[in-house]
Amino acid sequence: MSATIIGIESSCDDTSAAVVRDGLLLSNVIASQKVHEDFGGVVPELASRAHIQNILPVVSQALAKAGVDKSELDAIAFTRGPGLLGSLLVGTSFAKGLSIGLDIPIIDVNHLHGHVLAHFVRKTNDEPVPQFPYMCLLVSGGNSQIILVKGYNDMEILGQTIDDAAGEAFDKCAKVMGLPYPGGPHIDRLAATGDPSRFKFSKPHIPELDYSFSGLKTSFLYTLRDAVKEDDAFIENNLADLAASLQRTIIEILLDKLDKAVRRHPVRHLAIGGGVSANSGVRSAVSDFCKKRGITPWIPDRAFTTDNAAMVAMAGYFKYRDSQFCDLSLPPYSRVSV
């Protein structure tokens, strides 16, 4: 079935639009918001206001880059949730208005499903994609989940965080270290030159396949607090080693549960997704993990690890083929599991 889909993403602080035709990506435009850096985190009200300013030019640019006129669109895919409600309202309202104006259907997309299906984003038919069923380690600022992906619309959560996510641990520990927001990329950069065995931080003992990162954050904070009492310049003098040790601990926590998951649910393909999947240490560790077990790893392009509309458009294309459209009356939602 031939179809041209535009995807709209506005779940947090990135406004994005992408065009997919017959499952192939034609364009992907992202407008990031720098205003949050001064506050050390995303300010929801400022995020929603920025989306209002960005969404029309971003959509227009995505169509222009794809060489597609709006009259050629067959459907509009949009992130309905989860995310910041004010931000989601902007994208949802725009998608509904465009749907009415063009008289074409809208397709609601779960933001987390988009990350899981990001590996199907491709520009040519020759590019490989994962084979169902596959396992996905979804790691981001708000979510840490192990998901058994049986189909694009059939996903089973095997384990998930009971408190904080891996990305949150990276960012909040980075903030304590005095690093700019978002802290994750700075931790990644510093860890490359640090000693990962220098510091030991507490690891959780959570049953089954669930995660927890709140205890790690507390352990990290206490380590710094006690050390700074003895040496005011401790953090500044040990940034690289602290970053490397933190990164190593988070990776070990992630892979420990992932190992248990693949033992219980053997798969031939394993993917990672979400913002933390851009981390160099995570990418390398998952590749090694798969190599030792004879599993095919799927490591996404960094362009598709953060919030982007390409994954939304791709998820929407899958749903379009099955005529899974959304009613105009459905509102966005801020929280939901996969």
Q: Is 33 helix (H, G, I), strand (E, B) or coil?
A: coil
User: pLDDT at position 336, please?
Assistant: 65
Residue 6: Cβ within 10 Å count: 31
**Residue 326 burial (C-beta neighbours within 10 Å; 0-12, 13-18, 19+):** buried
Q: What are the pLDDT tens digits along the chain (338 aa)?
A: 689 999 999 999 899 999 999 999 999 999 987 777 777 778 888 989 999 999 999 999 999 999 999 999 999 999 999 999 999 999 999 999 999 999 999 999 999 999 999 999 999 999 999 999 999 999 988 889 999 999 999 999 999 999 999 999 999 999 999 999 889 999 999 999 999 999 999 999 999 999 999 999 999 999 999 999 999 999 999 999 999 999 999 999 999 999 999 999 999 999 999 999 999 999 999 999 999 999 999 999 999 999 999 999 999 999 999 999 999 999 999 986 44
Q: What pLDDT score was predicted for residue 338?
A: 46
**Greatest CA separation for the chain:** 67
Instruction: Answer whether 158's CB lies under 8 Å from 148's CB.
Output: yes
Q: How many CA atoms lie within 13 A of 73 on its CB side?
A: 30
Torsion of CA 319, 54, 175, 275, to 10 degrees: 20
